[in-house]
Structure 1
Amino acid sequence: MPRSRPGRVRAGLPRRRSRPGERDRTIPGLSGAALAEIRRVERRDTRLWPGSAGWAWERWRDFVRHPARRQWDLYESGVCTEWACCGDPWEARERLDTVMAAMSRRGARELRRLIDTLDARY
């Protein structure tokens, strides 16, 4: 019996459907190898979940780009009224550091280059 072609086998597989409201959280500007490595790190590390690096990237990017970012002081009130619904930007930045520490040098260098751009803006 002849072997089935791989393309035909893949075409017969069911497609992964995303849940309503679910988006693919990737970090723009990274290579495919770096994104694949981030996904492997997210699966391996128990402190992370699938998409946590993308979530952290979005939180940190949005915080740095926000015009009132300098008015937000964690020690003043202890509770952020503006970012409470979206997540703590400092926690997001720490999560990015966790991901970079678990990546290879090459992948971490790519991610660090993007994060350093945001850090310089902050």
Structure 2
Amino acid sequence: MRTGLPRPRGPYEKSPVIDGLPAGTLAELARLERTRNYLWPGAVSEALRTWAAHVRLPRGRTWPHQQDGPCYCCPDPWKSRELLDRVARALSRRAARELRRVLAGHDQLWDPAPRPYRGEGPW
């Protein structure tokens, strides 16, 4: 009978703190991480750290090891960004707005085109 209920958070599972998000949004994220099968405790914080690290890479650098493609020991920043979008859609309007505000700060750092290709060529 209790299998459908979300499990309570254990004492060893601390909710990660995301700078810029109020406590209510963090509580909603923690609840979402416990109740959704595609999330785990700390998934949103991990995805946000991955995306924030990726947008701070030098221009034009997509992966830590470009010749090999994505490194399998490192999380994929694009999947992390997709996960953050999916989580934002699952949150309440207020919490989603606050999460998107934090994401917008990171997204404005993202430069999809390296400087030499900007404004040149058929693109």
Length-normalised TM-score, structure 2: 0.70
Q: Which runs of 5+ in 1 are unaligned?
A: 1-14
Structure 2 CA distance for partners of 1:31 and 1:61, relative to 1, 3 Å:
same
Is 1:86 aligned to residue 77 of structure 2? Answer: no
1:31 aligned partner, one-letter code: P
Q: Which whole-Å deviations, capped at 9, do the CAs of 1:13-33 have from their partners, x for residues lacking one?
A: xx9357xxxx86331110000
Report sequence identity in percent: 39
> What is the aligned length?
99
In structure 2, the residue matched to 1:16 is 11
The structural deviation recorded for 1:85 is: 2.4
- Aligned-CA RMSD value: 2.3
Q: Distance in 2 between matches of 1:39 and 1:94?
A: 18
Structure 2 CA distance for partners of 1:46 and 1:109, relative to 1, 3 Å:
same
Is 1:56 aligned to residue 44 of structure 2? Answer: no
In structure 2, the residue matched to 1:72 is 62
Of Structure 1 and Structure 2, the greater helix share is in 1
CA radius of gyration, larger in: 1
In structure 1, the residue matched to 2:20 is 29
